[in-house]
């Protein structure tokens, strides 16, 4: 018989200047949610509340946009939330603050090398997928160990959510970009002692 360990709902923050402009992130404290992003998270909060999903714990990435999203959700659910330091967005390094079109123009050779072999192309400051996976796994293992049979909501980022889903389903790193994590979306993973279910 399979024993359910924990249920985690991963929420991506709402829209901001960089998502609208399709730019990679530079740091955690910029940009904040814009008005559209705030409304997106309010609607998501209402959906969670109306669906009668009994959340036990809420956690957030330290990034400003995630904390702002967490405040909106926590208020709607009448819960507190805590910060998890290791679920920040994948570091973009040299490419932070740029769109892929700008990267292509500014670093044409490096961009071509990355497209050919992203896992063996070194880009200054760019966090490797294996490092993202390592910190995400560490956080998930901690939560599963310390919160048996709890329902947890985590406000975090596309790179982290893709890593969580990819590891849960044993998807090769090279295929993570095929995992869709829309802005202000919720992704649920049920963790069992033997296998995992995602919805």
DSSP notation for 119-153: TS---TTBPPHHHHHHHHHHHHHHHHHHSTTEEEE
Q: Which residue has the higher pLDDT, 1 or 158?
A: 158
The CA-CA-CA angle for residues 57, 62, 68, to 5°, reads 75
pLDDT category at 77 given cuts 50, 70, 90 is very high
Question: Quick one: CA torsion of 39, 40, 44, 47, rounded to 10 degrees?
Answer: 70
Summarised one tens digit per residue, pLDDT across range 156-199 is: 999 999 999 999 999 998 899 899 999 999 999 999 876 555 66
pLDDT at 58 over 60: yes
pLDDT of res. 194: 61
DSSP label of 185: -
Q: What average pLDDT does this structure show over 94-101?
A: 93
Q: Which residue has the higher pLDDT, 5 or 71?
A: 71
In the chain, list all ranges with CATH 3.40.50.1240.
Answer: 4-91+127-198
> First-to-last CA distance in the chain?
21
Cα gap 93→24, rounded to integer Å: 9
In contact, 187 and 9? CB cutoff 8 Å: yes
Of the options 1.20.20.10, 3.40.50.1240, 3.40.50.2300, 3.90.1570.10, the CATH number for the domain spanning 4-91+127-198: 3.40.50.1240
> 97 pLDDT exceeds 80?
yes
CA–chain centroid gap for 22, Å, is 16
56 near 150, Cβ under 8 Å?
A: yes
């Amino acid at each position: 018989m399979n024993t359910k360990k924990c249920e985690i709902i991963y929420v991506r923050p709402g829209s901001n200047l960089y998502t609208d402009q399709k730019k990679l992130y530079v740091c955690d404290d910029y940009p904040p949610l814009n008005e559209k992003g705030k409304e997106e998270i309010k609607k998501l909060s209402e959906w969670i509340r109306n669906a009668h999903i009994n959340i036990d714990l809420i956690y957030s990435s330290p990034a400003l946009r995630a904390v702002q999203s967490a405040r909106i959700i926590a208020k709607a659910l009448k819960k507190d939330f805590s910060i998890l330091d290791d679920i920040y967005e994948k570091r973009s390094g040299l490419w932070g603050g740029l769109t892929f079109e700008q990267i292509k123009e500014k670093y044409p050779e490096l961009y071509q090398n990355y497209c050919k072999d992203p896992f063996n192309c070194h880009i200054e400051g760019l966090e490797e997928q294996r490092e993202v996976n390592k910190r995400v796994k560490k956080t998930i293992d901690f939560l599963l160990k310390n919160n048996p049979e709890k329902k947890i909501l985590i406000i975090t980022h596309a790179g982290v959510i893709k890593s969580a889903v990819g590891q849960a389903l044993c998807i090769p790193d090279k295929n993570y970009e095929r995992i869709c994590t829309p802005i202000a979306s919720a992704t649920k993973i049920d963790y069992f002692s033997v296998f995992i279910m995602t919805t």
